[in-house]
């Protein structure tokens, strides 16, 4: 007597309910940092200003429209009438910076771009902002002449909030081999300076910066290029420059993405 072979039922099982949830988790992990930053840095996307697609972070049309070079004071980077090279304030009171170079005004659309860079956790803005700086007149020679690019340091608390130092990211994108974030230290936190004038900012910045004593000898006779994203009154950069000069730096200049013009407010 033959026995019929056992057959496995052919009915397909329905997918378990957990798969959609798992897919969501996987996709979420994939598109969060650092993968999101990597995608922004290497893949075409919308222009952050005009919304055109596909484009780089800032398309060529917007760069040409909003990043045209303009005459600036060689000492503080404030806009000047054509033909002038230094503003009256810098002639009367020479700042501790040999030169100061800014790519754009701190205005539309760059104020929004820099806010996205600093406060919305998008470090991939560093590369396009560095490219903007390199295209600025006199920026390339300043980078080449510098022994060190020194980003303005953040406090430990601010660094923890943002997850990165925007000035350091820009400096690394400009010249990673020259960038030093271990020379200038921020040894004291300051109150929020957003709404303060220059005198109040300078008072807040007293004893904020220091040079690492174990590395101070490296600055002796050297040329330093300070790097920051925004220059408002100049108090931060001037204080940092004074500290570097006291430590032995022979030349200190500054390179910033945007310069605020408080004369217009």
Domain ranges of the chain: 58-191+198-264
Residue 18: pLDDT band with limits 50, 70, 90: very low
- DSSP reduced 3-state for 16: coil
Q: How far is CA 165 from the centre of its chain?
A: 7
Percentage with pLDDT > 90 across the chain: 62
Least confident of 50-54, 158-162, 199-203, 228-232: 199-203
pTM confidence score: 0.79
197-238: pLDDT as tens digits: 555 555 555 678 999 999 999 999 999 999 999 999 999 999
pLDDT at 56: 87
Which CATH class for the 58-191+198-264 domain?
Answer: alpha beta
- Distance separating alpha carbons of residues 159 and 176, to the nearest angstrom: 20
- Rounded Cα distance, 248 and 89, in Å: 26
| E strand residue ranges, 168-250 | 184-186, 209-211, 223-231
Q: CA 47 to CA 49: how far, in whole Å? A: 5
Measured distance CA(70)–CA(79) in Å, rounded: 7
Query: Which runs of consecutive H residues, i.e. helices, occur in 136-261?
Result: 139-145, 156-162, 166-175, 198-204, 235-246
- Mean pLDDT check: name the lowest of 10-24, 74-88, 222-236, 239-253: 10-24
The continuous run of DSSP H or E covering 102 comes out as strand 100-105
Return the pLDDT at 167.
97
Strand 100-105 with 148-151, pairing = unpaired
Q: Hey, is 69 helix, strand or coil?
A: coil
Q: How far apart are CA 51 and CA 141, in angstroms?
A: 33
């Amino acid at each position: 007597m033959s026995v019929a072979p056992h057959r496995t039922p052919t009915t397909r099982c329905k997918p378990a309910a957990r798969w959609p949830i798992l897919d969501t988790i996987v996709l979420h992990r994939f598109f969060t940092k650092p993968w999101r930053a990597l995608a922004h840095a290497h893949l075409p996307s919308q222009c952050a200003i005009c919304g055109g697609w596909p484009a780089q972070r800032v398309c060529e049309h917007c760069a040409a429209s909003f990043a045209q070079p303009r005459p600036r004071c060689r000492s503080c980077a404030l806009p000047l009438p054509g033909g002038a090279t230094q503003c009256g304030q810098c002639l009367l009171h020479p700042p501790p910076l040999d030169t100061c170079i800014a790519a754009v005004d701190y205005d539309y659309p760059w104020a929004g771009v820099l806010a996205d860079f600093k406060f919305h956790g998008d470090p991939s803005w560093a590369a396009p902002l560095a490219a903007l700086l390199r295209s600025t007149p006199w920026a390339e020679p300043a980078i080449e002449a510098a022994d060190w690019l020194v980003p303005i340091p953040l406090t430990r608390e601010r660094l923890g909030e943002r997850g990165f130092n925007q000035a350091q990211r820009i400096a690394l994108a400009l010249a990673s081999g020259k960038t030093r974030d271990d020379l200038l230290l921020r040894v004291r936190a300051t109150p929020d300076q957003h709404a303060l004038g220059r005198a109040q900012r300078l008072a807040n910045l007293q004893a904020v910066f220091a040079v690492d004593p174990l590395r101070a000898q490296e600055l002796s006779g050297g040329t330093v290029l300070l790097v920051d994203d925004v220059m408002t009154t100049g108090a931060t950069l001037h204080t940092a420059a004074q500290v570097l000069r006291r430590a032995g730096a022979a030349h200190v200049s500054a390179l910033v993405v945007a310069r605020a013009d408080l004369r217009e407010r």
